[in-house]
Amino acid sequence: MEKTAILRVKICCISSVEEAWTAIKYGASALGFVSNMPSGPGVISEELIARIVAQVPPPIATFLLTCSQDSQDIIRQLKYCRTNTVQICDRLISGSYQDIRESLPGIAIVQVIHVNSEESVQEAIEVSHYVDAILLDSGNQSLAIKELGGTGRIHNWELSREIRKQVNLPIF
């Protein structure tokens, strides 16, 4: 018997309770809330994120998108915003994924991999041991003003295919 994939839809850049309920009404299984970022669309305050998330029913995944590279800062953001998932849009350089897991049991961790070179494949393989899922995006972390998502650009699908082959995790 062939395994059937379940389609789940995440709507990002939610900025009001009304938008959240509209997305849920039309079938979203996850909502993304963009906290402070160096560039890109949809940034809202942590206060507004917390207010909207408090209105979202439990079966819906709520993603805090963060550019923080420090696990303690991410823990602080998650405790305040109260999402059930964190989408780390940049590389974690201070602290660890384990710090987040120990401080907030039950929080799902999604690491963004910006697919722009062969190194992206190795990065995905390395972080796959510590996270619950990987999100492939077309940002660029090496620019003077980092692009951490929302670019609208297509990345190299061959590299994405290689990541899919090498990583045994859900991939967005």
SS (H, E, C) 128-166: CCCCCEEEEECCECCCCCCECCCCCCCCCHHHHHHHHHH
The stretch 99-117 carries a mean pLDDT of: 96
- Per mean pLDDT, which range of 7-11, 32-36, 121-125, 142-146 is the poorest? 142-146
CB 110 within 8 A of CB 88: yes
Which domains are seen in the chain, by residue range? 10-166 (3.20.20.70)
- 118-169 pLDDT, tens per residue? 999 999 999 999 999 999 998 887 888 887 887 888 889 999 999 999 999 9
For the chain, the residue count is 172
Tokens 């963009």 sit on residue: 34
The stretch 96-124 carries a mean pLDDT of: 96
What pLDDT sits at residue 98? 98
Q: Quote the CA–CA distance of 135 and 150 in Å, as a whole number.
A: 12
- 42-97 pLDDT, tens per residue? 999 999 999 999 999 999 999 999 999 999 999 999 999 999 999 999 999 999 99
Q: What is the DSSP letter of 96?
A: -
pTM score: 0.92
Tokens 């995440």 sit on residue: 10
What tokens does 133 get? Answer: 């899922």
How far is residue 46 CA from its own chain's centroid?
Answer: 16
| Res. 1: pLDDT tops 70 | no
| Res. 5: pLDDT tops 80 | no
